[in-house]
Amino acid sequence: MNKVATACALVIGAGLLVSTSPGPEASPKDKLLAPGKLKLAGRYVRCGQARTLISHTFWDYGGAKKGVIILNPQKLEGLSDTVRLYVYAHECGHQIFGPRETRADCYAVERGKREGWLTESGMDEICTFLEPHPGDWVHPPGPKRCEIMRKCFAKAKPRRAQN
């Protein structure tokens, strides 16, 4: 992997991976799931036609490459349901909008509010998760990232009432 690809990958919760295979470190326990077959935080999640690679050796919480969302179950294990769903939705945002981190963040919180799994207290959980991140060349520092996401959350449409 070149320096740019490595730098893109070294971020908390949102690496945009540019390689096209899981790599030599893939574990026999790794599993590739069809769209809509992943159950996360008690609900089935889907991101269009993107598959989900459950990788026990992936270095971060989640990542994305064209057509695949990568999740590390060991890293996600200690997180709240809301933060797990945020990680997945953030990586889904990369499927739709490409490498734009802030846009992927906004997509995740807009989706969460629309689907009903993200509330104000859930935003607090996400912000607590991101707070320690100092930022890098693709991500704002955690507090700034949270500030931007809170604005996106405030503008997002809430879940529609079921009749």
CA 16 to chain centre: 10
Answer left, alpha or beta for residue 17, where phi above 0 means left and psi between -120 and 50 means alpha: beta
Q: Which pLDDT score is estimated for 26?
A: 55
Local structure of 141: helix, strand or coil: coil
Q: What element of type H or E holds 105?
A: helix 101-115
Q: Which pLDDT score is estimated for 8?
A: 32
The 8-class DSSP code of residue 53 comes to E
Q: What is the mean pLDDT of each run of 10 residues along the chain (163 residues)?
A: 30 32 59 97 97 96 96 96 98 96 97 97 98 92 97 92 60
CA torsion angle for 136, 64, 77, 49 (degrees, to 10)?
Answer: 150
